[in-house]
Structure 1
Amino acid sequence: MEIRFGTEGWRGQIADTFTISNARLVCQAIADELHARQTAELGMVIGYDTRFLSDKFARECAQVLAANGIAVYLLDTVTPTPLLSFAVRYLGAAGGLMVTASHNPAEWNGLKWKGPHAGPVKESDIVQMAARVGKSAVQSMSFDSARRARLIRLTNLDEPYFSQLFRFLAPFNSKKRKIHVVVDAMHGAAGNYFARALEELGCQVTPLRTKPDPTFGGVNPEPIKQNLVLLKEKVLEVHADLGLATDGDGDRLGAVDARGTFVSPQILFTLLTLHLLRERQWSGAVVRTFSTTQMIDKVARLHGVALREVPIGFKYICDLMQTEDVLLGGEESGGIGIVRHMPERDGIFSGMLLLEHLLTSDQKLSEAVESLMVLIGPHAYERVDLPVAAKKKEQLLKSLRTKPRTFAGFAVKEVQTLDGIKYRLSGGGWILFRPSGTEPLLRVYAEAQDQADVKKLIEAARLLIEQGKAVLKDR
């Protein structure tokens, strides 16, 4: 079965390409790469999420690395990816492997490979490792033998991780209002970690979907609007101030306000940027991916800090975090990394900072959003994922590369191809077409000052993709 590597490692459908035998092949390649770099003696950390057989895959990976003489710190329970990344840095390990497919549907699983800096490895690292797959015989040893030889060490770093979360955040003053939060783990790995963190912060917490479930209750564990219906209902039922959700492996954040209104990751990223620059007065460049809102650009300009745009994938943000003075970086999908915490996305830490912002500004979430729009002007943003066959997808992308004069009635000012195909439009809006690297989808992103204009752009894209009708004029 073909093993296809993506932005941070490898994902595949369980029992199709994601199999025990393929996992062993990949781990053998990683072991060979670590020996070639002469970092194998530092050991590796392995964690796993709530997906089907994730614990079994984690053990198999550990047994391969152990047989290659690499000590493995195997986290002893389901843990979120940010904790795995923290553990790598805390233990001074050569890297980490997280068994997860993040926000993908339940039938998927995968391996995320983290570097010694506690963030995603570089793309060149993935390429070098991939070239080693199948080049040497897979070595493995029994789990019990590896335990006796102390090549596999069951490890729990929950308490050090919580200490890390509170390095920059003190529990809220009890004299101030007590924020009531519904915490939705979407049956994923953040489980009770997020609830505990917010309780220790001083919030009243109502937990939701914290029980591990490999089917995720039939809902993809991605904290986007259509997947957070239960969170909205619970917020309204218990009259909470807001609801916060994390994705399947806990590195992304989603939110709804007290009225049950979904607050997009674009707004959350912008609010956190504003909070760190204005309230905390931290400094450094702000990094966003190609598909992320230009609200970030406006906040950066208001505070006189540099703005960097990178291709889609947190690894590109992480690369800049290693070489430049960066404050934070984020993706449109809700993954936000704050360098002073660690160069990695952490939905739990992001949620804690959002609550600090609301308390510091003495605002409800809806009021914070309204204040933001007053500050930077109105913005509307939407993403849709449209199924499309591989052959048709390539044909569409080839056609879209040729600059049209107009799209959906807007003049096309520029075509950008940093990652996908983006049309910058008259009036300050834009639309981006980008194929998914892991699923048979074409992702379409659009932003404008008005929701009606965004809807117009999305519908034009849907017409083009689903029906193949011409909406590109005057080529």
Structure 2
Amino acid sequence: MTWNNEWNKWSQYRELPSELKKHMNDMTEREREDAFYKQLEFGTGGMRGELGAGPNRMNIYTIRKVTVGLAKYIEESGTEAKRRGVVIAYDSRHQSVEFALEVAKTLGMHGIKSYVFDELRPTPELSFAVRYLHAYAGIMITASHNPAEYNGYKVYGEDGAQLPPAAADVIVTHMNKIENGLLLEVKEERELMKQSLISYIVENMDEVYLDYIKGLQLHKDAVKANLHIVYTPLHGTGHKLVPQALQTFGFQHITVVNEQRNPDPNFSTVSSPNPEEAQAFELAIQYGQQTDADLLLATDPDADRLGVAVKNNSGDYVQLTGNQTGALLLHYMMSQKQEKGMLKDNSVMLKTIVTSELGRAIAEDYGVQTVDTLTGFKYIAEKIDEYKREKNKTFQFGYEESYGYLIGDFVRDKDAVQAAVMIAEAAAYHKQQGMTLYDGLIQLYETYGYYKEALTSFTLKGKDGAEQISRIVSQFREHPPAELADVAVETIEDYQSGKRTDLLTTQQEVIDLPSSNVLKFWLQDGSWFAIRPSGTEPKVKFYFGVRQGTKDESEKRLKQIQTSLIDKVKMII
């Protein structure tokens, strides 16, 4: 694909919508090349990109093209797969409603039934609905926590999990056979409804989903602690279900941040609707101070990620990292289940390879096995499915450092609604014991050691940026550092080649995980760092983890290895 040819094809297409024509006219030469030099990539995480004209942007034509690829994949599975159909949900972003309908209209051309939510809904409810309705697939129109100019398209399999690599590859193969994505035909909504190829899902699905969440409750008396909660949906899909879920657990003192209550595709009160970032909590903290709240909660636009803030010993609100929230959830649930005799001998906890090792230490203390997966919740979901089929392990909890948690396996993706009610129950339980969640976190550190983690990323956009990211990873793979911050590198894990190399003995082991472009380096003092290009954003990410005897020692060591590594990266760029 040469970008000039694609540009000409689009500019000469008479039926191109006026807003896309205007966008093309306003583009600079560099913007034109970036928007037209390739097809927006579709992988196991679906596809995500900036809205606008061109095959490398999110628009009705890229939506149609990937949906035709999915339709062909479903057709290959037979008539029953087409009848079972596809569940479609969407978030609060620009064009999400239009894209969702475009998906249904494209599927309808292939005789595939669609179940479309009548209003915006969280990603985890989409996963739940696929399973509950026994659908063959699901599609979520969302760009998660990306800025307002983005949208995206996630595909889910019949198990309610994001598609595995093999299935995604089949869809891409079908997409690549389409010569001109501008000419793909769709059927009209009215015609499809007459043919019963579109059905709309109304609020009864919420009630069923909330009933399942209610079943997760471990300590019904905890609500007697009179916990005060402030919640912000950050203008996204959590605005209904998170408060309702908290109420099903018995929580009564729930204050929603009014300025961020309603869906808003511009996310006008935040620079980015990402609960990982401190600015996303600014209004929630103001509300917390006014109401003397015990717990602050924030969900991203599609409500699959949860951010948490609690009071420290000085009475100030501090934002917990995903690793810290995960550790608190894990410890609370394991301690409660052990007390109630609910922990089976074959219990397992799942975490990703870049998630804190604190979780492993906690799980081991309760006799729970820890299994590592690649980054991406689809890999956690794959393991859950494997354990269900083979009936050899009992899933207890799954999480990743990027604010994703799963408690009940009736959903097969990270679920901020589940996580919100369980962290609230944990906070209420601690309050009954005269403690805050922050006290509970310090207690974990005193018991297991001061684990400290960090993430640094470089955003490198466009064609040049993609080449820079590739160069950075190749440099570390082909010329790995012998030391970092004056501590020798002891082990290198290359998840692309599937090999773990001990640099002291030169012995190699096989890593029993799918191939992925990730490198992880372990230092002699137990510290580690990992390098991973993002699959959904133009970023290369650097993860760090340390464990020392005190908080100050951990922070010092973390800063040392961060500084040393970033200096090396800057020399490559």
Q: Do these two structures clear the TM 0.5 threshold for a shared fold by scoring above it?
A: yes
Pair 1:396 & 2:472 matched:
yes
Give a deviation string over 1:298-346, Cα, whole Å, max 9, x none.
Answer: 1122122221112111111111111122322211101112244432211
Q: 1:296 aligns with which of 350, 355, 359?
A: 359
What secondary structure is seen at the aligned counterpart in 2 of 1:213?
coil
Tell me the equivalent position of 2:45: 8
| Deviates most, 118-127 or 273-282 | 273-282
- How big is the shift at 1:172? 4.2
- Equivalent of residue 346 in structure 1, options 407, 415, 418: 415
How many angstroms apart in 2 are the aligned matches of 1:98 and 1:269? 25
Aligned counterparts, 1:322-361, within 5 A: 322-324=385-387, 325=393, 326-361=395-430
Instruction: Specify the SS of the correspondent of 1:439.
Output: coil
1:386-417 CA deviation, whole Å, 9 max, x = no partner?
Answer: 23433332222222123322112222111112
Q: Equivalent of 2:82, from 22, 40, 44?
A: 40
Does 1:439 find its partner at 2:571?
A: no
Q: Helix, strand or coil for the counterpart of 2:360?
A: helix
**What is the one-letter code of the residue matched to 1:27?**
T
> Which segment drifts farther, 337-346 or 251-260?
337-346
Structure 2 residue 219 is the aligned partner of structure 1 residue 179 = no
> What is the one-letter code of the residue matched to 1:29?
G
* Corresponding residue for residue 473 of structure 1: none
Alignment counterpart, residue 90 of structure 1, candidates 132, 136, 140: 132
Higher mean C-alpha deviation, range 426-435 or range 337-346 = 337-346
> Is 1:202 matched with 2:242?
no
What is the correspondence of 1:69-148 to structure 2 with a 5 Å cutoff? 69-133=111-175, 135=177, 138-148=184-194
Give the structure 1 partner of residue 93 of structure 2. 51
Partners of 2:222 and 2:417 lie apart in 1 by 21
| 1:453-464 matched pairs, under 5 angstroms | 453-464=557-568
| Cα deviations by residue, 1:53-95 (Å, 9 ceiling, x for unpaired) | 1000000101111221111111000100011111111111111
Residue type of the alignment partner of 1:103: H
Aligned residues, how many? 469
Note the C-alpha offset of 1:372.
Answer: 1.4
Q: Structure 1 residues 377 and 322 mapped into 2: Cα distance closer, same or farther (>3 Å)? A: same
For residue 348 of structure 1, what is the amino acid of its counterpart? V
Superimposed CA distance per residue, residues 192-248 of structure 1 (whole angstroms, 9 cap, x where no aligned partner): 221222133222111122211112224222211333333333322321001011112
2:297 aligned to which of 238, 244, 248: 244
Pair 1:24 & 2:64 matched: yes
8 A Cα contact 2:323 2:356, kept in partner: yes
The answer to whether the aligner puts 1:189 opposite 2:237 as a matched pair is yes
Compute the displacement of 1:188 (Å). 1.3
Which is further off, 299-308 or 68-77? Answer: 299-308
Distance 2:362 2:326 in 1: 11
Which residue in 2 is equivalent to 1:155? 201
From the CA coordinates, give the structure whose radius of gyration is larger: 2
Contact 2:223 2:428 in 1 (8 A): no
For 1:109 and 1:380, locate their aligned partners in 2 and report how far apart those are by CA, in whole Å.
33
Residue type at the aligned position of 1:396: I
Q: Which position in structure 2 is the counterpart of 1:280?
A: 337
Assess, with a 3 A threshold, how the Cα gap between structure 1 residues 308 and 175 changes in structure 2: closer, same or farther: closer
Matched, 1:216 2:267: yes
Q: Specify the code of the residue in structure 2 equivalent to 1:406.
A: E
**Structure 1 residue 351 displacement after superposition:** 1.4
User: Which secondary structure does the structure 2 equivalent of 1:132 belong to?
Assistant: helix
RMSD: 2.0
In the alignment, the residues of structure 2 paired with residue 75 and residue 444 of structure 1 have an alpha-carbon distance, to the nearest angstrom, of 37
Aligned to 1:472: none
CA shift, 1:468, in A, is 4.5
Q: Which moved more, 1:7-16 or 1:102-111?
A: 7-16
Preserved contact between residue 44 and residue 163 of structure 2 (Cα < 8 Å) = no
Counterpart code for 2:246: L
What is the rounded CA distance, in whole Å, between the counterparts of 1:462 and 1:84 in structure 2?
39
Aligned to 1:427: 525
- Paired residues of 1:187 and 1:212 also in contact (CA < 8 A): yes
Partners of 1:390 and 1:69 in 2: CA distance = 38
Match of 1:233 among 286, 294, 297: 286
Residue aligned with 1:70, SS: coil
- Distance in 2 separating the partners of 1:184 and 1:343: 24
Instruction: Give the alignment's TM-score, normalised by structure 1.
Output: 0.94
Q: Which moved more, 1:173-182 or 1:103-112?
A: 173-182
- Secondary structure of the residue aligned to 1:385 is strand
Structure 2 equivalent of residue 411 of structure 1: 488
- How far off its partner does 1:371 sit? 1.7
Alpha-carbon separation, structure 1, partners of 2:221 and 2:155:
39
Offset at residue 7 of structure 1 (A)? 3.0
Partner-residue secondary structure (3-state), 2:256: strand
Letter in 2 for 1:242: L
| Cα distance in 1, alignment partners of residues 222 and 488 from structure 2 | 54
Where in structure 2 are there 5+ consecutive unaligned residues? 1-35, 388-392, 496-516, 548-553
CA distance in structure 1 between the partners assigned to 2:520 and 2:287 by the alignment: 38
Residue type of the alignment partner of 2:256: P
Amino acid at match of 1:455: K
SS at match of 1:215: coil
> Which SS does the other structure have where 2:529 is aligned?
strand
How far apart, in 1, do the equivalents of 2:473 and 2:218 lie? 49
User: Given residue 110 of structure 2, which amino acid in structure 1 is its aligned partner?
Assistant: N
